[in-house]
A and B are shown apart, each in its own frame.
Chain A
Amino acid sequence: MDSLIKKTAKMDDIDAMFSDLLGEMDMLTQSLGPEMTSNSKRENHFSIGFTDFNESLNELEDQDLDALMADLGSDSAESEGRQQTAVTNYVQTQQQASSQSSAPPHVQAPISLSKMSSLTCSSTSLPPEPPKPLLPGEAEAKSKADKIKLALEKLKEAKVKKLVVKVMLSDGSSKTLMVDERQTVRDVLENLVEKTHCDSSCVDWSLCETNPELQTEREFEDHEYLVEPLSAWTRDSENKVIFLLKPEKYLIFKEPQIFYLWKKDKRFLSEIKDSQKELLLKENFERPSVIVPDLEGQLYLREDGKKTWKRRYFLLRASGIYYVPKGKTKTSRDLACFIQFDKVNIYTTSDYKQKYKAPTDFCFILKHPQIQKESQYIRFLCCDDEHTLSLWVHSIRVAKYGATMYKNYQAAVRRASTFSSTLHLTSRPAPGPTPTTPSTVQRAAGKANGHVPQVCDDVLEQPPDFIPPPPPVCNFGI
């Protein structure tokens, strides 16, 4: 307590210090480069970052540049200014590169900033401000907090990495966009949907990365920051980003029975009712832990070095892909781990029958996103048919991304339905779980419960429609 009081006494000094600090940070903003790539030889880990900004602008074709400039012009004046500083910063960064390892000396603030934060909430003596019923001291604390946030934002702004990205459209044309590292794939998708005037009530729009060298393709997940995977591309990369409709993107949520009841025959699956689909979604995605489809079966594995494909029995679990070692059973404890998903992504492939002598063309690979060329660290798997491939690819996505992927889908559905309702662009209903509860469900549960349950707004936990009549009362004791 004592120390707190002492600290409050020092408030004024700190105030002064703070405005100092803000000034300093403005300077920092000018001086701090983005990711400080060293000049030393690092052929392997190249990052197309901020430093390439000028270069990437130069490389653009004229019409692309025009489009981009128009694009930038339509942004707010402030952000335009930001771009300017960004370009000029490039030069300064270069100048600083030799002494980059040490920040400017005045930055070594003698006081620990985290201590200051505890100060900000312990001050006492200011009168409350009118707009909000703030407690005394809170207002001051708040304004300080705002200042700190402002300072932080400025600091961050200086380090934001931006890329100019050329996105290929399905009609063969392209769009060029400026993407900064804080933008998610979803942000970029929305931007593109708006610009290309395509059907905004559809949740299947995707951004895909293609790698011609490996002949692979991966659709980015909506929550990913687009700059991140693009930074792994090599300087001479022929990789492309494509904007297109991917009907399978959220198939696992639209038709969960295909994945969760994959053992049942197709005729049964095609006849399944919407209410059953909703129940599957609820059971597998809306509980505390996401349940991964219990896929298992024979796949071909490309053996390291040998360039042959061998059949093995694989199983998918939330923790990774496993296989059954020779002479062992399928019980959990006997399984050998093939791969875990923390550090790898899944990619679909094309024409691997020719490229790698695969048994079929229905292959997928798992690799670290940094790897761009053929390597022994890439895992190759091959399925018997297209359906099996689809099962594995999307189930692995669920295992890797879990609840995040479901949230992406829900967000996409919400966005699509607001688009269609506000803009009257289409009368097609949003796919996926409809937010209204079927009335039969209500009635059945109402009867059994003795009261009609209210509909909660997001219908997460709706009463089930399966209360069968309990067994008749009977007078035998046990």
Chain B
Amino acid sequence: MAAWDLSVTVEELGPEAPPFKVSVTSDLHIGGVILKIVEKTQIKKDWSDHALWWEQKKQWLLRPSWTLEKYQIHADARLSLTRQHMPLRIGLPNQTVLRVQACFSRPVFQTVMGVCHLLNIRHPEELSLLRPVEEKKKKKDKEAEEEVVYDLTALQVSSGSVQTLTSGMPVHFADSAQTEAVYKLLSVSLPAPAAEAITRMPRPSGLVDKARVHSRWLDSSQSLLQQGVQAHDKLLLRFKYYCCHDLDPKTDAVRLTQLYEQARWAILLEDVDCTEEEMMLFAALQYHIGKVSLSEPQPMTSCPTMDDLESALQCLEETMTIAPELQDYLKIFRPKRLSLKSYKQFWFTFNNTSISYFKSKEESLQGPIQQMNLKGCEVAPDVSVAAQKFCIRLLIPGAEGMNEVYLRCDNGLQYSRWMAACRLASRGKTLSDSSFSSEVQNIQSFLAMQQCTPGDDTAQTDKSINTHSLVSPRYHRKYKAEQLAPRILEAYQKVSQLPLTDAVLKFLQIWQALPGFGVSYFVVRFKGCRKDEVLGVTNNRLIRVDLRTGDVMKTWRYNTMRLWNVNWEIQQMSIEFNDNVNIAFSCVTATCKIVHEYIGGYIFMATRTREPTEELNQELFFKLTGGHGDAL
């Protein structure tokens, strides 16, 4: 067979170096070609990660036993010998950027698996890579200077199951103090961002904007290099399929934290709509999570029976020690119809879950004027730090209705103590409860929030916090920071007792229960229709949405789906459901492949079982989401 010259560029020699010419015959296999090149370069190094990349065809030549002929490579082909694993910048849901070694030659699905393995995120099939929004050039330069990148390229991780230390940290992060710090960054939720940072981030302004995001997903069945991603480029790692399988807070520290961060940003950037009450609860949870993560950086894993005993003992202790006394002169006001009575001063004492008041301190030995049991009552603040008004509004349930009572305190400290006591009493707890002092502190820090001057948008520290960094920009415009504080505090009552993990899970639960949760939108054009419409893809159904009003017009569930088909030529998807229901649409904002992969991906997610030993069925994933001849 005739020999001919094949030109190959070698990455190691630099981009300027002229391509090598190696003399080959068409029956030479790829392995032989690589060997020839390596010999010719005379560079001694480990070449095992290198492979041949065919520039014009955008194709990796990964089968060493295939011949040049079989790959249909001729003298005009320009090949390059490059590494398969190269550094890639990855933006995580919590906005940190890591530099990791990523595989550029395998399908993105496997690249993601590799990255998740390194970061100890289980179920990598739920995540994927997203191209970042292209920013204007000037901004980009500025941004590049600012961006902090944590380098993890040196981490060596074994291919088997990840070994973890008792703290839950994978062994490979224990190499240095620096990598340990990075692990902490990944597994503990970050402090609330500065309010300005939230305003600066792009927010979707409508359905079309929301749809546009999904045009940036990478194709899972093609490699990074095939999709034009270069070494050192930045991609975003995000949870793509909203069905978190088998979430276990013990082993899923990073996964849970990143999921929480993604949810938090989705709320802050109004990616998913919620009501004002829900927003306040999200804010309260964020505040709580931020606070608890600062005080307990590592979730404690003590044996449960000891915990039981501990709490039981605490209970016992409380019943046996005498409750700390709380008594003072306060002013009371009971609004009644057609009366404008003002505040009157009395001597107040707190007993168990009840407040009693007397004419004066001296008369407190005699019977009280009234006693009010606060169990089950509603407690709300009525506070203005600027006006030095510290009132507690109580709605005490009784057979006849709710009794409205206002207590007025003289100063913030007195207020915090009485407020804390009222809060505990409404939950049926007494002053001796261990949470009393932390409750007092919480109230004080909320008071501090009201004092902070506008414009002072510093990020959350343990003491002060700007309430604007806990809510979406819509509420920045609607309320001043100090107006938000009492509302967040009100919601905070419901969650202040939750341990860290429970608070994170609660946040996710409320997020997942929102009506707009987990819908990925695409602008499509249905066959036979003239105008653009929106297709929503969720974990169990497809919905047809009116582009302007956002109303759901039709729902098709996957379980009634019989088959689906893609016509790649005209970029049209057609789906057949039971009872001869057929739909067909072409995609406007994203490629057909992305929509098809999304639907196939959700169907794949539903095939997973809860068996712990179950291995990821990659073949099925590619079968359901691929659909190209050149997939593998």
A-to-B contact residues, CB < 8 Å: 36, 38-42, 44-46, 101-103, 107-109, 112-114, 116-117, 120-121, 145, 148-149, 151-152, 155, 232, 234, 276, 279, 283, 287-292, 294, 317-320, 322, 331-333, 335, 337, 340, 342-343, 368-373, 375-378, 445, 448-450, 453-454, 456, 460-478
Contacts A319-B510, A332-B274, A372-B399 hold; do A473 and B627 have CB atoms under 8 A apart? yes
Kindly list chain A residues whose C-beta atoms are within 8 Å of the C-beta of B395: 377
Q: State the CA gap A461–B611 with chains docked (Å).
A: 9
CB pair A475–B306 under 8 Å, yes or no, is no
Q: State the CA gap A345–B8 with chains docked (Å).
A: 76
Q: State the CA gap A450–B314 with chains docked (Å).
A: 54
The closest CB in chain A to the CB of B270 belongs to A333
Taken residue by residue from 243 to 259, chain B's Cβ proximity to chain A (1 for < 8 Å, 0 otherwise) reads as 11001000000000000
B510 is contacted by which of A46, A318, A340, A478 (Cβ under 8 Å)? A318
Kindly list chain A residues whose C-beta atoms are within 8 Å of the C-beta of B593: 478
Kindly list chain B residues whose C-beta atoms are within 8 Å of the C-beta of A151: 316
Kindly list chain A residues whose C-beta atoms are within 8 Å of the C-beta of B309: 117, 120, 145, 148-149
Known: A291-B513, A373-B401, A468-B561. 14 other contacts (CB 8 A): A108-B322, A283-B540, A333-B474, A337-B275, A370-B399, A373-B400, A449-B620, A456-B610, A461-B608, A461-B610, A466-B558, A467-B624, A473-B626, A476-B568
Kindly list chain B residues whose C-beta atoms are within 8 Å of the C-beta of A107: 320
Kindly list chain B residues whose C-beta atoms are within 8 Å of the C-beta of A276: 559
Listed stretches B72-80, B156-164, B229-237, B599-607; interface member: B599-607
Q: State the CA gap A107–B432 with chains docked (Å).
A: 15
Asked whether B582 is an interface residue with its Cβ less than 8 Å from the other chain, the reply is no
CB pair B515–A294 under 8 Å, yes or no, is yes
Q: State the CA gap A463–B605 with chains docked (Å).
A: 10
Kindly list chain B residues whose C-beta atoms are within 8 Å of the C-beta of A108: 320-322
- A interface majority secondary structure: loop
CB pair B550–A331 under 8 Å, yes or no, is yes
Give 9 closest A-B pairs by Cβ, nearest first: A375-B401, A370-B397, A44-B398, A289-B509, A332-B273, A372-B399, A475-B629, A476-B568, A461-B610
The closest CB in chain B to the CB of A39 belongs to B367
Contacts A333-B274, A464-B607 hold; do A113 and B401 have CB atoms under 8 A apart? no
Q: State the CA gap A109–B317 with chains docked (Å).
A: 9
Contacts A101-B351, A370-B376 hold; do A292 and B312 have CB atoms under 8 A apart? no
CB pair A38–B609 under 8 Å, yes or no, is no
CB pair B564–A292 under 8 Å, yes or no, is no
Kindly list chain B residues whose C-beta atoms are within 8 Å of the C-beta of A287: 243, 512
Q: State the CA gap A103–B606 with chains docked (Å).
A: 59
Q: State the CA gap A450–B607 with chains docked (Å).
A: 11
Q: State the CA gap A470–B626 with chains docked (Å).
A: 9
Asked whether B619 is an interface residue with its Cβ less than 8 Å from the other chain, the reply is yes
Q: State the CA gap A427–B573 with chains docked (Å).
A: 50
B342-400: which residues lie under 8 A (CB-CB) from chain A? 351-352, 354, 356, 367-368, 370-373, 376, 378, 395-400
Kindly list chain B residues whose C-beta atoms are within 8 Å of the C-beta of A475: 628-630
CB pair A470–B564 under 8 Å, yes or no, is yes
Contacts A335-B275, A471-B564, A478-B591 hold; do A375 and B367 have CB atoms under 8 A apart? no
CB pair A468–B568 under 8 Å, yes or no, is no
CB pair A155–B316 under 8 Å, yes or no, is yes
Kindly list chain B residues whose C-beta atoms are within 8 Å of the C-beta of A466: 558-561, 603, 606
Q: State the CA gap A381–B563 with chains docked (Å).
A: 46
The closest CB in chain B to the CB of A372 belongs to B399
Q: State the CA gap A288–B246 with chains docked (Å).
A: 9
CB pair A368–B312 under 8 Å, yes or no, is no
Kindly list chain A residues whose C-beta atoms are within 8 Å of the C-beta of B629: 473-475
Nearest chain B CB to A343's CB is how many angstroms away? 6
CB pair B398–A371 under 8 Å, yes or no, is yes
Asked whether B402 is an interface residue with its Cβ less than 8 Å from the other chain, the reply is yes
Q: List 5 A-B contacts (CB under 8 A).
A: A319-B513, A337-B276, A340-B277, A342-B494, A477-B630
Asked whether B499 is an interface residue with its Cβ less than 8 Å from the other chain, the reply is no
CB pair A45–B373 under 8 Å, yes or no, is yes
Residue among A102, A109, A335, A467 with most chain B CB within 10 A: A467
